[in-house]
Amino acid sequence: MTSSPLARLGEQTTDLLSTIGSLATLDALIEAEPSLTGKRSLLSTLQKSLGSLEPDDRRAAGAQLQAARRVVEEALSARRSELERAARVLQLESDRLDLGDVVDSAVVHALSVGHPGLIATTQSQLEDVFVGMGFTVADGPEVESDWYNFEALNIPPAHPARGMWDTFYVDLGEPETVVLRTHTSPTQIHLMEEAVARNSLPIHSVMPGRCYRRDTPDASHLYSFHQIEGLVVDRGITFADLAGVIETFTRAYFGSDITSRLRPAYFPFTEPSAEFEVTCTLCRGGGCRTCSFTGWLELGGSGMLDPAVLEAVGIDGEEWSGFAFGFGIDRCAQMRHQLTDMRALIENDTRFLEQMS
């Protein structure tokens, strides 16, 4: 009687497991794997020999052989995982840098801590001044409809005053015209609408934010810039109140030796309107090239709210009156820190950033 080809399967399986356990490196395992489970391995040879057995004996022997193969393959997989972990540990150890060995020959620089930029700092300082004067701080969207940016501010379509603002138009596929706001004045409309809806007049608020115009950047202009707008709506407000607020702000922010003055101007949303100037911060009023030897620098625009603006938001102009003013935050930073070119604010020169930190 011919003996079964699997007569020594238990002993052979033990030998294979012992071989797997003795593999010391991942390379050794990869090299030995074909002889353990490949087409020319002992298990594959035994599989081929089962053809000589009777059908019933072949099924039983096949099941026995498959069980042995599973044990060998699981042991091989487990050994592979162990060797891969060991290889990773060795790699990490070899890559580890001992700073104690190089501290004498290398310069270790301390990490620098980030800080607010000059514009953010200036905006915060301006807000503090106005909060100290009794104003609240509000914000508004940078993308506005044409109605908020122009029409509600008494600038209807085709009005010549629109030429004062080189506007970026946004194509959103909407029937309504959408723009990047050209000034912070649209926030005034939002505030007055909300006050009417909530019956929460009066308003004493400032509104800082980013604005956009198609200006060519130069020493005193940027295409993306920052403004701060002021709005007061109350009973009995006069032009004298506006002048007093501007003068109080000027001395509080620039110093007691800096004063302001108002000159007649035109803005569609205020009547009467005025540009306000402050003493040149470079020459302190003595006259220099920056102020064209006048001793004054233009800071912003202002005026009493036009009745058409109050009417657009549903405020009774017979009961309420108010004023608005606005000026550039970038211009304030330029004047206060005596910068000759406003483009330094956006060039990200690390020397400038460190100097202004």
At 264-303, the pLDDT tens digits run 999 999 999 999 999 988 888 888 877 888 999 888 999 9
Q: How far apart are CA 220 and CA 342, in angstroms?
A: 5
Whether residue 340 has pLDDT greater than 80: no
Spatial distance between the Cα atoms of 42 and 6, rounded to a whole number of angstroms: 11
Percentage of the chain lying above the pLDDT 90 cut: 42
Tens digit of pLDDT for each residue in 82-112?
888 888 888 888 877 665 555 555 555 666 6
> How would you class 349 by CB atoms within 10 Å of its CB: exposed for 0-12, middle for 13-18, buried for 19 or more?
exposed
- Helices 26-37 and 55-95, axial angle in degrees (round to 10): 170
C-alpha span between 332 and 345 (Å, rounded): 12
In what helix (H) or strand (E) does residue 332 lie, and over which residues does it extend?
helix 329-336
Question: Which sequence spans correspond to the domains of the chain?
Answer: 9-102, 118-355
- Residue 73: its pLDDT value, please? 85
- Convert the pLDDT of each residue in 38-78 to its tens digit: 777 887 887 777 777 777 777 887 788 788 888 888 888 88
The Cα 336–Cα 249 span in angstroms is: 14
Give the containing element (helix H, strand E) for 170: strand 169-170
Q: Return the CATH class of domain 118-355.
A: alpha beta
CA-based nearest residue to 210, from 331, 352, 337, 328:
328
Question: What value, to the nearest 5°, has the Cα angle with vertex 107 and ends 103 and 110?
Answer: 105
DSSP letters for 30-82? HHHHHHHHSTTSHHHHHHHHGGGS-HHHHHHHHHHHHHHHHHHHHHHHHHHHH
CB under 8 Å to 215, separation ≥6 — which residues?
A: 166, 221, 222, 223
The arithmetic mean of pLDDT across residues 190-212, rounded, is 95
pLDDT of the residue at 101: 55
Q: 266-280: buried (b, 16+ CB within 10 Å) or exposed (e) per residue? A: ebbbbeebbbbbbbb
Look up residue 3 and give its DSSP letter.
P
Distance from C-alpha of 187 to C-alpha of 136, rounded to nearest angstrom: 13
Residue 232 confidence class, pLDDT cut points 50, 70, 90 = very high
- Pairwise CA distance, residues 247 & 262, whole Å: 10
**Mean pLDDT, to the nearest integer, of 127-135?**
95
What's residue 98's pLDDT? 63
Q: In what order do the strands lie in the sheet with 169-170?
A: 143-145, 178-180, 169-170
Q: How much is the pLDDT for 1?
A: 41
